[in-house]
Structure 1
Amino acid sequence: MRFYKGELFSGPGGIAKGAQEAKVTQPETGELFHIEHRWSNDLDLDTCQTFARNICGRDFDSTVHPGPVQELPLGNKDELPPIDCLTFGFPCNDYSQVGKKKGLEGDYGPLYTYGIKAIKAYKPIFFVAENVGGLKSANEGKAFVQILTDLEECGYYLTPHLYKFEEYGVPQARHRIIIVGIRNDYYEKGYQFKVPAPTTKHNYVTAGEALTVPYEDDVLNHELPRHSEKVIQMLDHIEEGGNAWSPNLPEHLRLKVKGARLSSIYKRLDRNRPAYTVTGSGGGGTHMYHWQENRALTNRERARLQTFQDDFEFCGRRESVRKQIGMAVPVEGARIIFAAILKTFAGVAYDQIEPDPKVQLKNLQHSK
């Protein structure tokens, strides 16, 4: 069984790659359940080129639509053909813990409504929506309640869950809310998605394990960064797992910053733990730093922490690539979630857990 996928806010293809890799064979019939790309959209041209090159196999593809989602002809079946599933990692800028958390009142917060518009236009069998963990507390929790209510009213049974991706084989502590919606008529027929159980809850993949696998000589996006002599000296005094406020730093190398001391500033990785969260923006000191070498990580190293294979090529300049990697959903995390969805439709059993009660609509409404 083949599910054709449409995607909004696609990013470079973390969700899409995970969906491509999630293939399930029904034991009784041998039928292959899989997901195929049909169309996608993202605002950024470099990001769209990365998606086209790696998901579609060519630099530019007519099924990849660059530009504002507001201009996408949703519902025009000639330009955007029918789909069986929709994915949308709607922009997290106004929901992130880092920032003003404007939620629905920000410039980006209302963009989830284009996911709603696409769902109403195409009535996909299922959808997958993604956002940061801070979504549940934006606008004092009202934003998340509104989003879940709008999705539910489209005619879908929702299974929201806060996934801790380090528990699913991702060498990075990255926590994201994923909402899986199964159309009500399918849910009532018994196609009832459940949250897949963690695969590495007590045996995390570490940053050291991910980054010490040898690189090919011509590996892509692996240019070493350049640093000033002062930054190199700072890093030389920061211990593994430490940051810019390490007691080892001499006075003349300490940052003159008032207010909060963000723990990720010039923070070295701990090779024996999953990395801290890969981000796509930020100034000096936010690029993630090697546990031993006096330098920031390369984009390829960041991509490994996001579980992109080394042959996945990111297009654009270095900062553009950094942004793409930071905005992506980890491929392996996406693959596990899509595999569970496909197993749901194929009737294949898999290990399950109860969804996080703190992100369930009824509980959220009751707490208000």
Structure 2
Amino acid sequence: MDWGAILGNTLAALLSPVTIAYALAATGLAVHFGFTGLLNFGMAGFMALGGYGYAISVLSFGLPWWLGMIIGLLLAAVFAVALGIPTLRLRADYLAIVTIAAAEIVRLLFTTQVFDEFTNSADGLGGYHDGFRSANPFPSGTYGFGPFTYNEQELWMRVFGLLMLALAIFVVWALMRSPWGRVLKGIREDEDAVRSLGKNVFAYKMQSLVVGGVIGAMGGIVYVLPSAVVPSSYTTSLTFFIWTILLLGGAATIFGPSLGAIIFWMVMALLGNLLPELASAGYLPMSDIQAGTLRFILVGVALMLLVIFRPQGILGDKREMTFVK
């Protein structure tokens, strides 16, 4: 087995745009669930709106790349308001059902041929990269070392994504230390008690949904920077991966989502390279393709064990997790 290639591919996942995008989305989900107690299973919808809003703004309307990103974030905020008005008074389990359905509605809208002029339906969108790439401040060349070697465009994508992630982490940290953040935590623990103090619980939930949704949409934008926007990327499995990352790192933490994203995608990269190699060498009684699929089973089992034995995650505090009371 080529252990050098396996190790290199695993380390490369540390700073991949996918890892950064999922860290952003999980940070937004931490605002929803970890700090407010909103059981949102529709983060894929927010990511799709961010990615499509950015791509359509650039391709169909010729807007600058930065303005396209702002429009993607605004679309996510509008979606949060439209989703929150009829649903935020629902109980947690009903809210989960509604949000996962809403995300599927968003994905199916992008696949329908009614909007084919803008979305290209199931084929997705590409070719919107020129504006972003022309803003690259790094000269042409190769940067880094070993598995962290990038050309100027790859470096620019990662630097931009990390800057957005750092900004999101700082905003969440500042908000959760403010009186507004303390109200959210109170709602998570006992919203009736918060309501008895004269706070508008519905308004705070709505604000939390918007803030977390916008951060998730930023993750959706970073997610599509390397290649294209494809509607099949925004299935329910995307949301479940984000939940796995959140629970792994710690739902009610600031840095937990980022740590969870790094661990999750490095483990996925390790298993995705190691298991097929073991199958090819005859150590596993299955084909290479079956061995590649086995990693999802192992990750699912690991998530079950995590929820059972350490539901607060790696960085979390068990006293802050409402679902283990």
TM-score for the superposition, normalised by structure 1: 0.25
Q: Which has the higher strand share?
A: 1
TM-score for the superposition, normalised by structure 2: 0.27
Structure of greater relative contact order (alpha carbons < 8 Å, 6+ residues apart): 2
